[in-house]
Structure 1
């Protein structure tokens, strides 16, 4: 079946796109903040669970995942200015692999961007409950409150949204830098960071083996190392709100990944090395950075430090809500999702319906788990299974984006590329390989497999909808027109 015969396009008039307008504002530093802010909460918590396999295992896993994200971000730096549309990953896959490839990629990213803020707001609620002494049963009220506030800020306008993104990202980074400076005089790396022994046992005197669980420990640490970089790939979703995406998108995403790599290795080195904590204790901590601050400054200012730790979570929560709105908006505007979801605010020009509906879906999932499983088990599933589902959605989208890059290089070698990745096809191939290895580990681990199976169910529902209805109602959005135009040029070139 050809690309043209597999889908049908509905006719729309000019008013359709007038109701779905966006406003350009972002420059290179706004884009940098969007990418870094989306990720930064992973430097405050989450990554540390990989320390259960030993510090050396986590180091090697972080190096491997850094390579994967370098390959991914350089590929995105090439594709995003060449295809400067809000669709991001869906747009790249649509142009490279047709409507079905675009839809599957968009579906995977949708899992990531709907569920990641849910996991983050769960941790925010836990912090706020601890700070203000509210009972665990009140957690859903914190979730609702933070969603209302940050959806509201994102709806008010793209200018305010990017200003808040820049502010909270800089504050979160300032917190991390303050920790690094505070930690340096207090570290004993060999004694504390290396206190995980064979089989994961604690070594009171430290100086344990580099890989206490062997290379299997490195593989087991890969999903946790992902949290140090997860969601920087959202940056191309801001293409139609960037003043000059051809120039600024590559600069923003490359500056972002190198900022995150520096921060990731600093926190991996210093946090487990602080005297009195150690890798073994941090491997089960829900607040590793807070634990580090407490070890340095004592428990007397614990609540102030907890508020500091919340900043990183807020930065990521705010920026991923932005990304969720644009991701749902782009698929809806093109008809892959119901088109009503892509209507933008009349005066603010922000995709308010997409943000609200995506957030309501996330809250419904959280409420169902919370009220059917109870506080303790519900917390474990929200903080664990939903997190695993988000990671799997991201990994699948990385596979599709790497394939898109390689296919675009092969299929459309003469497409205008304002920026070319210095890593080329080799960088994309490494991204593909490492993402597949990470997915394999998720599938082989029973704990992760539960989340993967739920994502598979979501895929089954989405594919069924698209096969029966969605593919007959597509709309010639900028992404679709661009992809069809390039395909026609390619066919014309092949016949000359």
Structure 2
């Protein structure tokens, strides 16, 4: 079989695609909503609280509200794009149609950085939880990292339906525990304690509400993102979804709605029960918020501690899924080595699961630095948000007659708001962890060199995302004649 370039349909097209096919019709609205929440739910249990040290309660509250607005606007824009282009490429497919091969590659690479690095980081956090809970007598994290990747990759290899059902069950446990946490924490809520971080009098605009001034709001952006990071991955399940044009927009709207409620409740309950000073540096802030003033544990704090492990597992499991589908789509279209998109008899992209899994385990075991890897993932995510929301604006302007089964409320105004906030989020990552941002840029540079000198000359025209783009180009050419 000779696989041609983008300019022509490869010889043996059907044979090529038959070896690179996902199991269609496996996911409905409930499973996809669960997937969207699963991507994110671990962020409610830990991570967001470090933003209190950057912006104080008021700064993080404003940052979280702005990031919530960004994600809401972006989700509605992506829902429209997913209904128009329901392929496993997700954001890469949207940008490919709107911004060309370079735009598609840059977007897909940014998404891949997010969804490969984030599971490695969460595996480290799972190891920390297991060790702190003294489970299985483990005193080192690496056996847990290995167990996570081996066990959960095996479930993914079993089949997408089984994987998404497992994810839904674990996510339901984690969400239920957040509700229990809120019920236990809100009776101790004290509004006066929310401003207990000392004011930095040298910061511009500093006060008890904004102890680190106006700049603290901006610096807290990446931590506000942790309440929502990953929900944009729902469209990656498009080729495995029943009636994606209707199901994806509905599931994405439900997922962001649930996440907005969970973010507000968790943030207020945890900060108000003990005060920001008590939880700003805690590895498990919800547990800290429920403990006795002297640090003694309670029955409820121990329950939430175990439930936090379920939240981490849910996010780890779903992010592995997202990374494998983005890798699958980029490989199938030739942007990455084509063998990575081969699927098994159960229609699972086995190399797209195993190779990122091995890479993630290696990074986790070698570095043990989950916070740094998450910051790299956040930078990649923010870059992809800029490109995906720009794609929505470009397609609305350039192809107004494109059939749209679902239309974004507010149109380009909505995606424009998301784009502006995404650009601010990219800049904010340099305020928090400049080294992580430069690491992500270094990975980007290597990927760009690979694409520029090799893979852009070997794209596969038969891939769905490439066919959509080729059809658009042909229609535009006819319109000019």
Common fold by TM > 0.5? yes
Q: 1:77-88 to 2 correspondence within 5 Å?
A: 77-88=79-90
In the alignment, the residues of structure 2 paired with residue 11 and residue 293 of structure 1 have an alpha-carbon distance, to the nearest angstrom, of 63
More displaced, 66-75 or 359-368? 359-368
CA-to-partner distance for each residue in 1:397-424, whole Å, 9 max, x for gaps?
0000011000000111111100000121
Q: 1:220-231 to 2 correspondence within 5 Å?
A: 220-231=219-230
Question: In the alignment, is residue 489 of structure 1 matched against residue 475 of structure 2?
Answer: yes
In the alignment, the residues of structure 2 paired with residue 383 and residue 44 of structure 1 have an alpha-carbon distance, to the nearest angstrom, of 15
Question: In the alignment, is residue 125 of structure 1 matched against residue 137 of structure 2?
Answer: no
In structure 1, the residue matched to 2:27 is 26
Contact 2:89 2:329 in 1 (8 A): yes
Q: 1:16-165 to 2 correspondence within 5 Å?
A: 16-23=16-23, 24-52=25-53, 53-132=55-134, 138-165=140-167
In the alignment, the residues of structure 1 paired with residue 480 and residue 258 of structure 2 have an alpha-carbon distance, to the nearest angstrom, of 43
In structure 2, the residue matched to 1:430 is 417
In structure 2, the residue matched to 1:232 is 231
In the alignment, the residues of structure 1 paired with residue 102 and residue 134 of structure 2 have an alpha-carbon distance, to the nearest angstrom, of 48
In the alignment, the residues of structure 2 paired with residue 295 and residue 493 of structure 1 have an alpha-carbon distance, to the nearest angstrom, of 71
What is the deviation of 1:368? Answer: 3.2
Contact 2:145 2:365 in 1 (8 A): no
In the alignment, the residues of structure 1 paired with residue 316 and residue 450 of structure 2 have an alpha-carbon distance, to the nearest angstrom, of 29
1:177/1:300 CA distance change after superposition, 3 Å: closer
What is the deviation of 1:8? Answer: 7.5
CA-to-partner distance for each residue in 1:445-473, whole Å, 9 max, x for gaps?
3x511111111111111111111111121
Contact 2:287 2:302 in 1 (8 A): no
Question: In the alignment, is residue 281 of structure 1 matched against residue 281 of structure 2?
Answer: no
More displaced, 298-307 or 485-494? 298-307
SS of the aligned residue for 1:299 comes to coil
Return 5+ residue gaps in structure 1 as ranges.
202-207, 370-378
Contact 1:131 1:303 in 2 (8 A): no
In the alignment, the residues of structure 2 paired with residue 229 and residue 295 of structure 1 have an alpha-carbon distance, to the nearest angstrom, of 30
1:92/1:82 CA distance change after superposition, 3 Å: same
Q: 1:31-430 to 2 correspondence within 5 Å?
A: 31-52=32-53, 53-132=55-134, 138-190=140-192, 192-199=193-200, 209-274=208-273, 277-295=274-292, 299-301=297-299, 303-346=302-345, 348-369=346-367, 379=368, 382-430=369-417
TM-score, normalization by structure 2: 0.93
What is the deviation of 1:5? Answer: 10
In the alignment, the residues of structure 2 paired with residue 27 and residue 295 of structure 1 have an alpha-carbon distance, to the nearest angstrom, of 43
What is the deviation of 1:144? Answer: 0.5
TM-score, normalization by structure 1: 0.91
What is the deviation of 1:182? Answer: 1.4
What is the deviation of 1:303? Answer: 4.9
In the alignment, the residues of structure 2 paired with residue 300 and residue 271 of structure 1 have an alpha-carbon distance, to the nearest angstrom, of 15
What is the deviation of 1:11? Answer: 3.7
Contact 2:130 2:138 in 1 (8 A): no
Contact 1:112 1:394 in 2 (8 A): yes
CA-to-partner distance for each residue in 1:129-162, whole Å, 9 max, x for gaps?
1112678862111100011111111111111111
In the alignment, the residues of structure 2 paired with residue 165 and residue 96 of structure 1 have an alpha-carbon distance, to the nearest angstrom, of 33
In the alignment, the residues of structure 1 paired with residue 138 and residue 277 of structure 2 have an alpha-carbon distance, to the nearest angstrom, of 27
Return 5+ residue gaps in structure 2 as ranges.
none
SS of the aligned residue for 2:327 comes to helix
SS of the aligned residue for 1:271 comes to helix
In structure 2, the residue matched to 1:458 is 443
In the alignment, the residues of structure 2 paired with residue 77 and residue 235 of structure 1 have an alpha-carbon distance, to the nearest angstrom, of 9
In the alignment, the residues of structure 2 paired with residue 133 and residue 489 of structure 1 have an alpha-carbon distance, to the nearest angstrom, of 60
CA-to-partner distance for each residue in 1:240-264, whole Å, 9 max, x for gaps?
0001101110000011111111111
